[in-house]
Structure 1
Amino acid sequence: MHHVGDGTARIDDFADAITLEDVPGEYLFSFDTDGSMTPRTAFEMACKSLSSRFGDLLEQLSEDL
């Protein structure tokens, strides 16, 4: 976006093009798949993988502490 960055006359036109705001108690994200599985399947597999990894981490921390 060099054509709308600092030092250009267009920066004010795009000042609020992207805004971020906190939504208490919410976390929003998006992801894409390559089409080999549905988004729901990809999400569920990712959750299982993360759960397993965090379980392993918890186990290692419990042993070390």
Structure 2
Amino acid sequence: MSSKNSDGAGQEVASPCRRQCCLDDQDVCLGCGRTLQEILGWSKADMVGKRAICAAAEARLQQRHGIP
């Protein structure tokens, strides 16, 4: 990673999709942790939005698996 861009601001954010798609009763994917609305809006989200989606999805997965 370049020292000029150590925060990754100019880099594309990879989709958290794990190809294990299955929505629970709250429309949250059991594979990646994104909500249905986050999945549908992914392609239109900017990099800041995508990072926020990834953080929220990771937090949901950790909560689901009991990780503090």
Query: TM exceeds 0.5?
Result: no
TM bucket normalised to smaller:
0.3 to 0.5
TM-score between both structures, scaled by the size of structure 2: 0.36
The structure with the largest helix share of the pair is 1
TM-score (norm 1): 0.37
